[in-house]
Chain A
Amino acid sequence: MPDLLKRIGAPLTFGVLALLAVITMVSDRRSLAEGGRDLPWWQAVMLEIAVPIQDIVAAPVDGVRGLYHDYVSLLEVREQNDRLQVRIAELEEANLQYREALVASGHLQQIAAMRDEFEIPMLPSEVVGLDVKPWFRSVLVDRGAGHGVRAGNPVITAEGVVGLVTATSRHAAKTMLLLDRQSAIDGIVQRSRARGIVRGRGTDQLEFEFVVRGGDVVVGDVVITSGLGGVYPKGLRIGEVVEISDPAGGLLQTADLRPAVDFGRLEQVFLMMRRGPTMDLLYGDDGPIESASATSGRPSS
Protein backbone atom coordinates (compact mmCIF):
# COMPACT_ATOMS: atom_id res chain seq x y z
CA MET A 1 0.00 0.00 0.00
CA PRO A 2 2.74 2.56 0.86
CA ASP A 3 4.50 1.52 -2.39
CA LEU A 4 1.32 2.11 -4.36
CA LEU A 5 0.79 5.51 -2.71
CA LYS A 6 4.39 6.45 -3.47
CA ARG A 7 3.95 5.41 -7.09
CA ILE A 8 0.69 7.25 -7.68
CA GLY A 9 1.39 10.15 -5.30
CA ALA A 10 2.73 12.57 -7.92
CA PRO A 11 0.18 11.84 -10.68
CA LEU A 12 -2.62 11.99 -8.10
CA THR A 13 -1.38 15.34 -6.76
CA PHE A 14 -1.09 16.63 -10.32
CA GLY A 15 -4.60 15.48 -11.17
CA VAL A 16 -6.18 16.97 -8.05
CA LEU A 17 -4.37 20.31 -8.43
CA ALA A 18 -5.16 20.52 -12.15
CA LEU A 19 -8.83 19.80 -11.47
CA LEU A 20 -8.86 22.47 -8.76
CA ALA A 21 -7.30 24.96 -11.18
CA VAL A 22 -9.98 24.22 -13.80
CA ILE A 23 -12.75 24.61 -11.21
CA THR A 24 -11.37 27.96 -10.02
CA MET A 25 -11.06 29.12 -13.64
CA VAL A 26 -14.71 28.31 -14.36
CA SER A 27 -15.82 29.98 -11.15
CA ASP A 28 -13.67 33.06 -11.82
CA ARG A 29 -15.02 33.32 -15.38
CA ARG A 30 -18.54 33.36 -14.00
CA SER A 31 -17.58 35.99 -11.43
CA LEU A 32 -15.98 38.19 -14.12
CA ALA A 33 -19.05 37.87 -16.32
CA GLU A 34 -20.99 39.34 -13.42
CA GLY A 35 -18.67 42.35 -13.39
CA GLY A 36 -15.95 41.46 -10.89
CA ARG A 37 -15.61 40.86 -7.20
CA ASP A 38 -14.27 42.19 -3.93
CA LEU A 39 -11.52 39.74 -3.06
CA PRO A 40 -11.70 37.68 0.14
CA TRP A 41 -8.91 38.52 2.59
CA TRP A 42 -6.74 35.50 1.72
CA GLN A 43 -6.67 36.56 -1.93
CA ALA A 44 -6.36 40.26 -1.12
CA VAL A 45 -3.12 39.65 0.83
CA MET A 46 -1.22 39.23 -2.43
CA LEU A 47 -2.37 42.61 -3.73
CA GLU A 48 -1.62 44.22 -0.39
CA ILE A 49 1.96 42.90 -0.53
CA ALA A 50 2.44 43.85 -4.16
CA VAL A 51 1.32 47.48 -4.18
CA PRO A 52 3.85 49.04 -1.74
CA ILE A 53 6.73 47.02 -3.21
CA GLN A 54 5.80 47.90 -6.78
CA ASP A 55 5.45 51.53 -5.71
CA ILE A 56 8.99 51.50 -4.30
CA VAL A 57 10.49 49.75 -7.35
CA ALA A 58 8.82 52.15 -9.78
CA ALA A 59 9.51 55.29 -7.69
CA PRO A 60 13.03 56.17 -9.00
CA VAL A 61 12.00 55.79 -12.64
CA ASP A 62 8.77 57.70 -12.05
CA GLY A 63 10.80 60.43 -10.37
CA VAL A 64 13.19 60.84 -13.32
CA ARG A 65 10.30 60.65 -15.77
CA GLY A 66 8.37 63.25 -13.78
CA LEU A 67 11.36 65.63 -13.63
CA TYR A 68 11.85 65.40 -17.38
CA HIS A 69 8.15 65.88 -18.01
CA ASP A 70 8.02 68.89 -15.66
CA TYR A 71 11.03 70.47 -17.36
CA VAL A 72 9.58 70.04 -20.85
CA SER A 73 6.20 71.31 -19.65
CA LEU A 74 7.83 74.35 -18.08
CA LEU A 75 9.36 75.34 -21.40
CA GLU A 76 5.94 75.52 -22.99
CA VAL A 77 3.95 76.81 -20.05
CA ARG A 78 4.26 80.58 -20.66
CA GLU A 79 3.14 80.40 -24.26
CA GLN A 80 0.39 77.96 -23.34
CA ASN A 81 -0.72 80.19 -20.48
CA ASP A 82 -1.18 83.21 -22.76
CA ARG A 83 -3.11 81.10 -25.24
CA LEU A 84 -5.34 79.65 -22.52
CA GLN A 85 -6.08 83.08 -21.00
CA VAL A 86 -7.45 84.18 -24.35
CA ARG A 87 -9.40 80.95 -24.72
CA ILE A 88 -10.91 81.28 -21.22
CA ALA A 89 -12.08 84.78 -21.98
CA GLU A 90 -13.71 83.54 -25.21
CA LEU A 91 -15.40 80.61 -23.45
CA GLU A 92 -16.61 82.75 -20.56
CA GLU A 93 -18.21 85.09 -23.04
CA ALA A 94 -19.85 82.20 -24.89
CA ASN A 95 -20.95 80.61 -21.61
CA LEU A 96 -22.60 83.83 -20.53
CA GLN A 97 -24.56 83.97 -23.75
CA TYR A 98 -25.69 80.34 -23.39
CA ARG A 99 -26.81 80.92 -19.80
CA GLU A 100 -28.78 83.93 -20.83
CA ALA A 101 -30.44 81.87 -23.53
CA LEU A 102 -31.20 79.04 -21.07
CA VAL A 103 -32.68 81.39 -18.49
CA ALA A 104 -34.82 82.85 -21.20
CA SER A 105 -36.07 79.40 -22.20
CA GLY A 106 -36.62 78.27 -18.58
CA HIS A 107 -34.35 75.19 -18.86
CA LEU A 108 -31.71 76.20 -16.33
CA GLN A 109 -33.39 74.52 -13.35
CA GLN A 110 -33.64 71.21 -15.22
CA ILE A 111 -29.98 71.35 -16.21
CA ALA A 112 -28.91 72.08 -12.62
CA ALA A 113 -30.77 68.95 -11.49
CA MET A 114 -29.11 66.87 -14.22
CA ARG A 115 -25.66 68.14 -13.20
CA ASP A 116 -26.15 66.73 -9.69
CA GLU A 117 -27.03 63.39 -11.22
CA PHE A 118 -24.10 63.17 -13.62
CA GLU A 119 -21.24 64.73 -11.68
CA ILE A 120 -19.40 61.75 -10.35
CA PRO A 121 -16.72 61.92 -7.65
CA MET A 122 -13.33 60.73 -8.86
CA LEU A 123 -10.39 59.28 -7.02
CA PRO A 124 -6.93 59.80 -8.54
CA SER A 125 -4.75 56.70 -8.46
CA GLU A 126 -1.32 55.56 -9.62
CA VAL A 127 -0.70 52.51 -11.81
CA VAL A 128 1.80 50.38 -9.92
CA GLY A 129 1.82 47.04 -11.74
CA LEU A 130 1.28 45.56 -15.19
CA ASP A 131 1.01 42.11 -16.72
CA VAL A 132 4.21 40.98 -18.41
CA LYS A 133 2.33 38.55 -20.64
CA PRO A 134 0.85 40.17 -23.73
CA TRP A 135 -2.21 37.91 -23.49
CA PHE A 136 -3.84 39.85 -20.68
CA ARG A 137 -4.44 43.53 -20.35
CA SER A 138 -4.81 44.47 -16.74
CA VAL A 139 -3.14 46.89 -14.35
CA LEU A 140 -2.86 47.18 -10.61
CA VAL A 141 -3.67 50.58 -9.06
CA ASP A 142 -2.84 51.80 -5.58
CA ARG A 143 -6.36 52.55 -4.34
CA GLY A 144 -8.67 49.88 -3.01
CA ALA A 145 -11.73 49.09 -0.93
CA GLY A 146 -10.29 51.15 1.93
CA HIS A 147 -10.64 54.25 -0.26
CA GLY A 148 -14.17 53.35 -1.30
CA VAL A 149 -13.28 51.56 -4.55
CA ARG A 150 -15.52 48.63 -5.49
CA ALA A 151 -15.44 46.06 -8.28
CA GLY A 152 -17.42 47.51 -11.16
CA ASN A 153 -16.17 51.11 -10.80
CA PRO A 154 -15.18 52.58 -14.17
CA VAL A 155 -11.60 53.80 -14.57
CA ILE A 156 -10.76 56.74 -16.85
CA THR A 157 -8.12 59.32 -17.65
CA ALA A 158 -8.54 62.79 -19.07
CA GLU A 159 -8.17 61.20 -22.54
CA GLY A 160 -10.94 58.64 -22.16
CA VAL A 161 -11.99 55.23 -20.86
CA VAL A 162 -9.29 52.99 -19.36
CA GLY A 163 -11.33 50.03 -18.13
CA LEU A 164 -13.16 48.60 -15.19
CA VAL A 165 -12.17 47.54 -11.66
CA THR A 166 -12.54 43.76 -11.48
CA ALA A 167 -11.18 42.98 -8.03
CA THR A 168 -10.24 44.96 -4.95
CA SER A 169 -8.29 44.52 -1.76
CA ARG A 170 -8.04 47.14 0.99
CA HIS A 171 -5.32 49.24 -0.67
CA ALA A 172 -5.28 48.01 -4.27
CA ALA A 173 -7.56 47.32 -7.19
CA LYS A 174 -7.11 45.16 -10.26
CA THR A 175 -8.36 46.89 -13.38
CA MET A 176 -9.25 45.15 -16.63
CA LEU A 177 -8.24 47.42 -19.51
CA LEU A 178 -10.44 48.06 -22.54
CA LEU A 179 -7.82 46.17 -24.57
CA ASP A 180 -8.48 42.91 -22.74
CA ARG A 181 -10.32 40.27 -24.72
CA GLN A 182 -12.88 39.97 -21.95
CA SER A 183 -13.81 43.64 -22.27
CA ALA A 184 -16.85 44.77 -24.28
CA ILE A 185 -18.70 48.08 -24.00
CA ASP A 186 -21.52 49.78 -25.82
CA GLY A 187 -20.34 52.71 -27.94
CA ILE A 188 -21.68 55.28 -30.39
CA VAL A 189 -20.03 57.26 -33.13
CA GLN A 190 -20.02 60.87 -31.97
CA ARG A 191 -20.72 62.29 -35.43
CA SER A 192 -23.37 59.96 -36.85
CA ARG A 193 -24.69 58.38 -33.60
CA ALA A 194 -24.19 54.90 -35.13
CA ARG A 195 -24.26 52.33 -32.31
CA GLY A 196 -22.09 49.29 -31.82
CA ILE A 197 -20.04 47.20 -29.44
CA VAL A 198 -16.39 47.99 -28.71
CA ARG A 199 -14.39 44.88 -27.88
CA GLY A 200 -10.83 44.36 -26.70
CA ARG A 201 -8.61 42.16 -28.84
CA GLY A 202 -5.70 41.67 -26.52
CA THR A 203 -3.65 43.88 -28.88
CA ASP A 204 -3.08 47.65 -28.86
CA GLN A 205 -6.23 48.28 -30.89
CA LEU A 206 -9.93 47.86 -30.27
CA GLU A 207 -12.65 46.42 -32.44
CA PHE A 208 -15.89 48.31 -33.09
CA GLU A 209 -18.71 46.11 -34.34
CA PHE A 210 -21.69 47.98 -35.75
CA VAL A 211 -24.78 47.34 -37.82
CA VAL A 212 -24.12 48.11 -41.47
CA ARG A 213 -27.61 49.32 -42.29
CA GLY A 214 -27.73 52.96 -41.30
CA GLY A 215 -24.39 52.65 -39.54
CA ASP A 216 -22.53 55.61 -40.95
CA VAL A 217 -18.93 55.17 -39.85
CA VAL A 218 -15.87 56.62 -41.56
CA VAL A 219 -12.17 56.66 -40.77
CA GLY A 220 -11.42 59.41 -38.26
CA ASP A 221 -14.77 59.13 -36.46
CA VAL A 222 -14.61 59.35 -32.68
CA VAL A 223 -16.40 56.63 -30.72
CA ILE A 224 -17.73 57.46 -27.25
CA THR A 225 -19.56 55.48 -24.58
CA SER A 226 -23.30 55.30 -25.16
CA GLY A 227 -24.17 54.80 -21.50
CA LEU A 228 -26.51 51.98 -22.53
CA GLY A 229 -24.52 49.15 -20.99
CA GLY A 230 -25.20 50.65 -17.59
CA VAL A 231 -21.53 50.41 -16.68
CA TYR A 232 -19.93 53.58 -18.05
CA PRO A 233 -21.59 57.00 -18.10
CA LYS A 234 -22.47 58.39 -21.51
CA GLY A 235 -20.02 60.53 -23.46
CA LEU A 236 -16.61 59.19 -22.41
CA ARG A 237 -14.13 58.97 -25.26
CA ILE A 238 -13.24 55.40 -26.29
CA GLY A 239 -11.18 55.80 -29.45
CA GLU A 240 -10.92 56.83 -33.08
CA VAL A 241 -11.73 54.74 -36.16
CA VAL A 242 -8.54 53.99 -38.08
CA GLU A 243 -9.72 51.30 -40.48
CA ILE A 244 -12.99 49.77 -41.61
CA SER A 245 -13.06 46.20 -42.78
CA ASP A 246 -14.78 45.31 -46.05
CA PRO A 247 -18.34 44.22 -45.43
CA ALA A 248 -18.60 40.47 -46.01
CA GLY A 249 -22.26 40.64 -46.95
CA GLY A 250 -23.37 40.30 -43.34
CA LEU A 251 -25.36 42.66 -41.23
CA LEU A 252 -22.44 43.51 -38.99
CA GLN A 253 -19.27 45.30 -39.95
CA THR A 254 -16.17 45.90 -37.89
CA ALA A 255 -13.82 48.83 -37.60
CA ASP A 256 -10.42 49.09 -35.96
CA LEU A 257 -10.24 51.70 -33.23
CA ARG A 258 -7.16 53.42 -31.89
CA PRO A 259 -7.86 53.84 -28.15
CA ALA A 260 -8.13 57.42 -26.91
CA VAL A 261 -5.92 56.47 -23.97
CA ASP A 262 -2.25 55.69 -24.55
CA PHE A 263 -2.08 52.45 -22.60
CA GLY A 264 1.68 52.24 -23.07
CA ARG A 265 2.11 55.37 -20.96
CA LEU A 266 -0.54 54.82 -18.37
CA GLU A 267 0.63 56.32 -15.08
CA GLN A 268 -2.22 58.10 -13.35
CA VAL A 269 -5.88 57.16 -13.66
CA PHE A 270 -9.13 58.31 -12.11
CA LEU A 271 -11.49 55.86 -10.46
CA MET A 272 -15.13 56.86 -10.85
CA MET A 273 -16.63 56.42 -7.43
CA ARG A 274 -20.14 55.69 -8.56
CA ARG A 275 -21.03 52.48 -10.33
CA GLY A 276 -23.40 52.31 -13.22
CA PRO A 277 -26.97 51.05 -12.63
CA THR A 278 -26.12 47.60 -14.08
CA MET A 279 -23.30 47.14 -11.59
CA ASP A 280 -25.55 48.22 -8.72
CA LEU A 281 -28.12 45.68 -9.85
CA LEU A 282 -25.44 42.98 -9.86
CA TYR A 283 -24.06 43.86 -6.46
CA GLY A 284 -27.27 44.85 -4.73
CA ASP A 285 -28.21 48.33 -3.71
CA ASP A 286 -25.34 49.47 -1.53
CA GLY A 287 -25.82 53.03 -2.73
CA PRO A 288 -23.36 55.32 -4.44
CA ILE A 289 -19.85 54.95 -3.15
CA GLU A 290 -18.48 58.26 -1.98
CA SER A 291 -15.05 58.90 -0.62
CA ALA A 292 -13.75 61.82 1.38
CA SER A 293 -10.59 61.90 -0.71
CA ALA A 294 -12.45 61.76 -3.99
CA THR A 295 -12.32 64.82 -6.19
CA SER A 296 -15.54 65.95 -7.71
CA GLY A 297 -16.07 66.36 -11.41
CA ARG A 298 -14.03 65.22 -14.35
CA PRO A 299 -10.26 65.27 -14.16
CA SER A 300 -8.81 68.53 -15.27
CA SER A 301 -5.43 67.19 -16.34
Chain B
Amino acid sequence: MKRISTLLGLGVAAIVLQGALATVVSPPWCPDLALLVLVGIGLRWRGLARGLLLAALLGYSRDLLSGSLLGEHALLYLFTFTGTVVATRQLNLRGSWPLAGFAAGLTVFYGFGMLALTGFFVGGVDFRLNWLGAELVHAGVTGICAPAVSAVVGWASDWADDDPGRRSLGLDAIRRPA
Protein backbone atom coordinates (compact mmCIF):
# COMPACT_ATOMS: atom_id res chain seq x y z
CA MET B 1 0.00 0.00 0.00
CA LYS B 2 2.86 2.33 0.87
CA ARG B 3 4.42 1.59 -2.51
CA ILE B 4 1.21 2.28 -4.43
CA SER B 5 0.56 5.55 -2.59
CA THR B 6 4.17 6.69 -3.04
CA LEU B 7 4.14 5.99 -6.77
CA LEU B 8 0.70 7.58 -7.11
CA GLY B 9 2.02 10.67 -5.33
CA LEU B 10 5.07 10.73 -7.59
CA GLY B 11 2.88 10.40 -10.68
CA VAL B 12 0.59 13.24 -9.59
CA ALA B 13 3.62 15.40 -8.75
CA ALA B 14 4.96 14.78 -12.26
CA ILE B 15 1.61 15.79 -13.81
CA VAL B 16 1.50 19.02 -11.81
CA LEU B 17 5.17 19.81 -12.43
CA GLN B 18 4.98 19.33 -16.18
CA GLY B 19 1.91 21.59 -16.35
CA ALA B 20 3.92 24.34 -14.65
CA LEU B 21 6.96 23.67 -16.84
CA ALA B 22 4.82 24.03 -19.95
CA THR B 23 4.09 27.65 -19.03
CA VAL B 24 7.83 28.30 -19.14
CA VAL B 25 9.07 25.93 -21.86
CA SER B 26 7.20 25.64 -25.16
CA PRO B 27 5.10 22.41 -24.99
CA PRO B 28 6.90 20.35 -27.68
CA TRP B 29 10.18 20.98 -25.81
CA CYS B 30 8.66 20.09 -22.45
CA PRO B 31 9.20 16.40 -21.56
CA ASP B 32 6.19 14.25 -20.76
CA LEU B 33 7.25 13.57 -17.16
CA ALA B 34 3.94 11.93 -16.25
CA LEU B 35 4.29 9.38 -19.04
CA LEU B 36 7.89 8.70 -18.00
CA VAL B 37 6.80 8.02 -14.42
CA LEU B 38 4.25 5.54 -15.76
CA VAL B 39 6.95 3.84 -17.87
CA GLY B 40 9.23 3.75 -14.82
CA ILE B 41 6.49 2.08 -12.81
CA GLY B 42 5.77 -0.39 -15.62
CA LEU B 43 9.44 -1.39 -15.75
CA ARG B 44 9.38 -2.47 -12.11
CA TRP B 45 5.84 -3.63 -11.53
CA ARG B 46 4.85 -7.18 -10.65
CA GLY B 47 1.20 -8.20 -10.71
CA LEU B 48 -0.54 -6.57 -13.63
CA ALA B 49 -4.01 -6.10 -12.11
CA ARG B 50 -3.01 -3.70 -9.31
CA GLY B 51 -0.66 -1.91 -11.67
CA LEU B 52 -3.54 -1.30 -14.06
CA LEU B 53 -5.54 0.29 -11.26
CA LEU B 54 -2.62 2.57 -10.46
CA ALA B 55 -2.22 3.45 -14.17
CA ALA B 56 -5.93 4.27 -14.48
CA LEU B 57 -5.80 6.48 -11.38
CA LEU B 58 -2.82 8.38 -12.78
CA GLY B 59 -4.57 8.69 -16.13
CA TYR B 60 -7.71 10.12 -14.55
CA SER B 61 -5.58 12.55 -12.51
CA ARG B 62 -4.00 13.74 -15.73
CA ASP B 63 -7.38 14.05 -17.42
CA LEU B 64 -8.51 16.41 -14.67
CA LEU B 65 -5.67 18.84 -15.38
CA SER B 66 -5.70 18.42 -19.13
CA GLY B 67 -8.03 19.60 -21.85
CA SER B 68 -8.76 16.00 -22.79
CA LEU B 69 -12.04 14.24 -22.20
CA LEU B 70 -12.24 12.58 -18.79
CA GLY B 71 -11.00 9.03 -19.39
CA GLU B 72 -8.93 9.73 -22.51
CA HIS B 73 -5.55 9.72 -20.78
CA ALA B 74 -6.81 6.97 -18.47
CA LEU B 75 -7.50 4.65 -21.40
CA LEU B 76 -4.15 5.36 -23.01
CA TYR B 77 -2.39 4.90 -19.68
CA LEU B 78 -3.86 1.38 -19.50
CA PHE B 79 -2.41 0.55 -22.93
CA THR B 80 0.91 2.26 -22.17
CA PHE B 81 1.32 0.48 -18.86
CA THR B 82 0.43 -2.92 -20.33
CA GLY B 83 2.76 -2.27 -23.26
CA THR B 84 5.61 -1.38 -20.93
CA VAL B 85 5.09 -4.45 -18.74
CA VAL B 86 5.00 -6.71 -21.82
CA ALA B 87 8.02 -4.98 -23.39
CA THR B 88 10.01 -5.36 -20.16
CA ARG B 89 9.50 -9.14 -20.37
CA GLN B 90 10.59 -9.30 -24.01
CA LEU B 91 13.28 -6.61 -24.28
CA ASN B 92 16.25 -5.51 -22.24
CA LEU B 93 15.40 -1.94 -21.26
CA ARG B 94 17.95 -1.58 -18.48
CA GLY B 95 20.41 0.64 -20.36
CA SER B 96 19.90 4.36 -20.88
CA TRP B 97 19.78 4.23 -24.68
CA PRO B 98 17.25 1.39 -25.02
CA LEU B 99 15.08 3.03 -22.39
CA ALA B 100 15.32 6.44 -24.08
CA GLY B 101 14.41 4.89 -27.45
CA PHE B 102 11.52 2.94 -25.95
CA ALA B 103 10.16 6.03 -24.16
CA ALA B 104 10.46 8.13 -27.31
CA GLY B 105 8.63 5.49 -29.35
CA LEU B 106 5.96 5.21 -26.71
CA THR B 107 5.49 9.00 -26.71
CA VAL B 108 4.83 8.97 -30.46
CA PHE B 109 2.43 6.04 -30.05
CA TYR B 110 0.72 7.93 -27.24
CA GLY B 111 0.36 11.02 -29.42
CA PHE B 112 -1.25 9.07 -32.22
CA GLY B 113 -3.48 7.28 -29.73
CA MET B 114 -4.60 10.64 -28.42
CA LEU B 115 -5.23 11.87 -31.95
CA ALA B 116 -7.28 8.79 -32.78
CA LEU B 117 -9.37 9.01 -29.60
CA THR B 118 -9.97 12.75 -30.02
CA GLY B 119 -10.89 12.19 -33.66
CA PHE B 120 -13.34 9.47 -32.71
CA PHE B 121 -15.02 11.24 -29.79
CA VAL B 122 -14.71 14.89 -30.80
CA GLY B 123 -14.13 14.77 -34.56
CA GLY B 124 -12.55 17.38 -36.80
CA VAL B 125 -9.04 15.92 -36.75
CA ASP B 126 -7.06 16.75 -39.86
CA PHE B 127 -3.58 15.35 -39.61
CA ARG B 128 -0.80 17.80 -40.49
CA LEU B 129 2.90 17.23 -40.96
CA ASN B 130 3.88 20.00 -38.54
CA TRP B 131 2.07 18.04 -35.80
CA LEU B 132 4.28 15.08 -36.53
CA GLY B 133 7.33 17.37 -36.31
CA ALA B 134 6.19 18.72 -32.94
CA GLU B 135 5.44 15.22 -31.69
CA LEU B 136 8.87 13.94 -32.77
CA VAL B 137 10.58 16.80 -30.93
CA HIS B 138 8.42 16.08 -27.89
CA ALA B 139 9.28 12.36 -28.14
CA GLY B 140 13.00 13.12 -28.42
CA VAL B 141 13.02 15.38 -25.36
CA THR B 142 10.93 12.87 -23.42
CA GLY B 143 13.29 10.05 -24.42
CA ILE B 144 16.34 12.00 -23.23
CA CYS B 145 14.75 12.49 -19.81
CA ALA B 146 13.62 8.85 -19.53
CA PRO B 147 16.68 7.36 -17.75
CA ALA B 148 16.73 10.07 -15.08
CA VAL B 149 12.99 9.85 -14.38
CA SER B 150 13.16 6.06 -14.35
CA ALA B 151 15.97 6.23 -11.78
CA VAL B 152 13.85 8.49 -9.55
CA VAL B 153 10.89 6.09 -9.87
CA GLY B 154 13.21 3.15 -9.07
CA TRP B 155 14.52 4.92 -5.99
CA ALA B 156 11.01 5.82 -4.79
CA SER B 157 9.77 2.31 -5.51
CA ASP B 158 12.62 0.73 -3.53
CA TRP B 159 12.20 3.19 -0.67
CA ALA B 160 8.49 2.50 -0.37
CA ASP B 161 8.59 -1.25 -0.87
CA ASP B 162 7.22 -2.96 2.24
CA ASP B 163 8.98 -6.20 1.36
CA PRO B 164 12.77 -5.75 1.66
CA GLY B 165 13.28 -9.00 -0.26
CA ARG B 166 11.94 -7.40 -3.41
CA ARG B 167 14.19 -4.36 -3.31
CA SER B 168 16.50 -3.89 -6.23
CA LEU B 169 20.05 -5.11 -5.55
CA GLY B 170 21.58 -2.93 -8.24
CA LEU B 171 22.97 -5.94 -10.08
CA ASP B 172 23.42 -5.57 -13.79
CA ALA B 173 22.86 -8.88 -15.55
CA ILE B 174 24.51 -7.65 -18.75
CA ARG B 175 27.88 -6.73 -17.27
CA ARG B 176 30.08 -9.76 -16.76
CA PRO B 177 33.43 -9.99 -14.96
CA ALA B 178 36.44 -9.86 -17.30
Contact = CB atoms under 8 A, between A and B. Distances in A.
Please determine whether chains A and B interact with each other in the same assembly: yes
Interface of A: 9-10, 12-14, 17-18, 20-29, 32, 39, 43, 46-47, 49-50, 53-54, 57-58, 61, 127-138, 140, 166, 174, 176-177, 180-182, 199, 201-203, 264
A58 B71 contact: no
A240 B126 CA distance: 22
Interface stretch (B13-21, B91-99, B149-157): B13-21
A221 to B, nearest CB: 23
A9 B39 CA distance: 21
Contacts of A25: 69-72, 75, 117, 121
Interface in B102-122: 111, 114-115, 117-118, 121-122
Interface in B122-148: 122-126, 128, 130-131, 134-135, 138
B32 A24 contact: no
5 contacts: A24-B74, A25-B71, A131-B19, A134-B28, A137-B67
B130 A135 contact: no
Contacts of A43: 64, 70
A13 B78 CA distance: 10
A138 B67 contact: yes
A47 B46 CA distance: 31
Interface in B16-46: 16-24, 26-28, 30-32
A2 B169 CA distance: 32
A43 B67 CA distance: 14
B19 A54 contact: yes
Interface stretch (B48-56, B158-166, B170-178): B48-56
Given A58-B20, A130-B19, A135-B111, 10 more contacts: A10-B49, A14-B52, A17-B78, A21-B56, A24-B69, A26-B121, A47-B65, A50-B65, A53-B17, A135-B114
B5 interface: no
A181 B118 contact: yes
A264 B26 contact: yes
A127 B118 CA distance: 24
B19 A50 contact: yes
B66 A54 contact: no
Contacts of A181: 118, 122-125
Contacts of A50: 15-16, 19, 65
B68 interface: yes
B121 A29 contact: yes
B6 interface: no
Given A50-B16, A135-B114, A176 B23 contact: no
B70 A132 contact: no
A296 to B, nearest CB: 28
A54 B13 CA distance: 10
Contacts of B17: 53, 57
Contacts of B125: 181, 202
Given A18-B78, A46-B65, A181-B118, A134 B53 contact: no
A98 B3 CA distance: 72
B16 A176 contact: no
B19 A129 contact: yes
Contact of A135 (B21, B24, B52, B115): B115
A132 B24 CA distance: 11
B27 A132 contact: yes
A201 B124 CA distance: 8
Interface string B60-92: 110011111111101100100010000000000
A49 B8 CA distance: 14
A129 to B, nearest CB: 4
Contact of A132 (B22, B115, B128): B22
